[in-house]
Structure 1
Amino acid sequence: MRVSIPTISLDPLVTKAFPQVSKTEAVSRLVSFIEPGNVAVLTGAGISVDSGIRAYRGQNGRYLNPNYHPIFFHELADPTPKGHRFRQRYWARSYLGWPAIKEAKPSTSHYAIGALQYSNLVHKLITQNVDGLHGKAIPITWGAYEKQRRILELHGRLRTVSCTRGHSQSRAVFQERISSLNPSWRKYVDELARTGSEPRTNPDGDVELRGRYFTDFVVPNCELCLLEGVNADEASIIKPDVIFFGESISSAVKDRSFRDLECCDKLLVIGTTLATYSAFRIVKHALEVGKPVMMLNIGPTRADKFERIEKIEMKSGAVLTDVCSLVLGPKAHHDPELRRLMMSGVVQPPIDDTADNDTGG
């Protein structure tokens, strides 16, 4: 069966035009939506564009990079020599792309949501993003438990890796292991950093190799698997803890996403086309259980056909900080932690994708 990358139909019967509004009106509508509190927020790749991470799709719902051919889960998990070549390709590209993801800083939108979380206006946050930026923009008073309770990473995280037998390690440790086994590639990464010529990085950390071949790339084995007697080919089946194309989120994650939604009064969707069904069904479920839904996104989305959704076609970075200031009022200036969150964040969109900023994940 041919498996395609999810995208957004441009059929006029499926999508519809939403009226353009001024920034003032957009801020006012968002304030009215958020101010009562107990809001669930669902975010996509668009919210990380101001952090320098490209979105998957542009304003027409299509992939921004027409040459992007992601590896599917069944290819990565194939224990045969063919699967090993897929893993060489994936980890060579991901090895080059990880530094940009690791060094990315939260945008003003990430911190604005952090301020709303700190004030308990946003009770639950569900993100499709695997970059970990929401976790970097949380209140300093939150420990690991509160962070895990309040933020659900729907599609996983790039910062940890696991083998198929469940042995896990941090991405930083795995990256160092790759470096030690591939000195020529490490030299190449150092050269890219020195010249500032970073390769184009996709939201999942994958990059284009620009003519560099990966046949010499050594993929680390899982050392614990080897100690348990697993053969080397199977021990090399290691993946980041993210959901690949062709892979489904677990029932536990799906169930939690529904619970997180159901304990809130409404849903605010930011920076996503909802092309992946795992995110789309959260919006569907919100409508089914009678929750108001508002979307902040530029371009068509999978949910545009629903009449009960209120949509604002605008970049999150253009409005969320102002929304926070109005919703939080004087305490945004008097509370030191709120002041820190409100004054933090970068606005550094990728230079070559500025026309498509804040489109969907």
Structure 2
Amino acid sequence: MRLSVPSIPLLSTRPPAPTRSLQEAIERVAAFLLPGNVTILTGAGVSVDSGIRAYRGHDGRYMNPNYKPLFYHQLMDESRAGHTFRQRYWLRSYLGWPAIRDTTPNPTHYGLAALQYARVAPRIITQNVDGLHHQALNLRPGIKNNSVLELHGSLHYVHCKHGHAVDRTTFQDWLSAANPQWKAFLDETERTGNKPRTNPDGDVAIEHLGTSYTSFIVPQCPSCLLEDRVNSVHKPEVIFFGESIPQPVKDQSFRDVEAADRLLVIGTTLATYSAFRLLKRAVELGKPVLLLNVGPSRGDSIEEIDRIDMPSGLIIRDVVRAVLYVSPPRNYDSKKLTAAPIRGTTASENPVVAKMLQSGIVKPPEDDTQPGAR
């Protein structure tokens, strides 16, 4: 399955989600999580409080009406045209990387991490490429693990067309060394605070710079040079539009849904089919599904799912406390997990849980007043 540009209208004949008070929303989400063994699917909306812009606003429309994604075949094209595409992409990424690198998790990331730590929701599938779920669990971003499945990859690693991988910070240093004039430009934006607008995938808009990106140098792969090959075709470990999601990742996403008793979907319009099909699979298996998102989504047409129209950051800490600080329900089947969940007094006195529920920044982008989702 290839990742295609979402072009579906996020509209349906189904009535909007009913209006709920904060307390009603907290109680509804907590009740959904309380039985445990939940898989959570997240989108760009969960990272808005960390300062990363969402793709879509509260009305389901793209925040940037001129959004034109770079396709996989364009990035990997070895012709002169492909070289120009890579210059443009890597300049945009070079200028946007510091904002992604320095971003830290918000209360939603830490709240979900607490649910994972307590083994109530042991699996997270995320469409995000920012690595913030990993950071909240004190894991190294981009490293594969059983706790967080990055459906669309990670910005934290880069590989060349021959498979040589390097971490993104090192690659940033290569770009700086090859482009001292752009390094000076980036340093000046850092010094003045006049930073360019960073998009969810870690790049920035450079239209105002005209065609100056044609001076940007994409460095040769050092490992390829040691193998007597000249190669400057590099790609972040992110699934581009037109690129297939690796089969192992696709298979694992279905296993994570099938292993759960229920599916909680947070901060996503489900516009990409790679995520929407997971919701469909849960419904096919008769698993309860709850969607917590702002505005319309592709899931609105599915009658079987419950919906709450609200940003997760407003309620997540209270939800987690309501779930963890009570004893497990009598009908809880701990045999489905590798270990019993941490609940009740054990959770309320646990220093890791306490720290997670006190952690997280809330610093949404200044010019995006309405959280949206991918």
TM-score scaled by length of structure 1: 0.93
In structure 2, the residue matched to 1:241 is 237
| Residue 184 of structure 1: how far off its partner (Å) | 0.6
Aligned equivalent of 1:360: 373
What is the correspondence of 1:133-172 to structure 2 with a 5 Å cutoff? 133-138=132-137, 148-172=145-169
Q: Could you give the per-residue CA deviations for residues 257-285 of structure 1, whole angstroms, max 9, x where no partner exists?
A: 01111111110000000111111111111
Quote the residue 1:341 is aligned against. 356
Residue identity opposite 1:194 in structure 2:
R
Shift of 1:321: 0.6
Check the 8 A contact 2:197/2:204 in 1, yes or no.
yes
Consecutive unaligned residues in structure 1, runs of 5 or more? none
Amino acid at match of 2:321: S
Query: 1:321 is matched with which residue: 293, 309, 317?
Result: 317
RMSD between superposed Cα atoms in Å: 1.9
Structure 2 matches for 1:204-243, cutoff 5 A?
204-209=201-206, 211-212=208-209, 213-230=212-229, 232=230, 235-243=231-239
Query: CA shift at 1:197, angstroms?
Result: 1.3
Q: Which residue of structure 2 lines up, in the alignment, with residue 177 of structure 1? A: 174
How big is each residue's C-alpha offset from its partner over 1:191-230, in whole Å with a ceiling of 9 and x where there is no partner?
A: 1111111111111011012522201100012122233333
**Superposition deviation, residue 332 in structure 1:** 4.5
Given that 2:131 and 2:142 are in contact with CA atoms closer than 8 Å, whether structure 1 keeps it comes out as no
Q: What SS does structure 1 have at the residue aligned with 2:47?
A: helix
2:251 matched residue in structure 1: 255
SS at match of 1:211: helix
Secondary structure, aligned partner of 1:295: strand
- Relative distance call for 1:313 and 1:70 in structure 2 (3 A) is same
Segment of structure 1 superposing worse, 85-94 or 283-292: 283-292
Identity among equivalent pairs (%) = 53
Please show how residues 1-361 of structure 1 align to structure 2 within 5 Å.
5-13=5-13, 16-138=15-137, 148-209=145-206, 211-212=208-209, 213-230=212-229, 232=230, 235-329=231-325, 330-354=345-369, 356-357=370-371, 359-361=372-374
Q: In the alignment, residue 223 of structure 1 is paired with which amino acid?
A: P
SS in 1 for 2:81: helix
Aligned amino acid, residue 51 of structure 1:
S
Write the distance in 2 (CA, Å) between the matches of 1:84 and 1:45.
30
The change in CA–CA distance for 1:52 and 1:145 in structure 2 (over 3 A counts) is closer
Residue deviations 1:140-160 (CA, integer Å, cap 9, x gap): 5x7999970111000000000
State the distance in 2 between where 1:4 and 1:143 align: 29
User: 2: CA distance between counterparts of 1:6 and 1:33?
Assistant: 29
Q: Could you tell me how far apart the structure 2 residues matched to 1:196 and 1:296 are?
A: 34
- How many residue pairs get aligned? The number is 351
Task: Give the structure-2-normalised TM-score.
Answer: 0.90
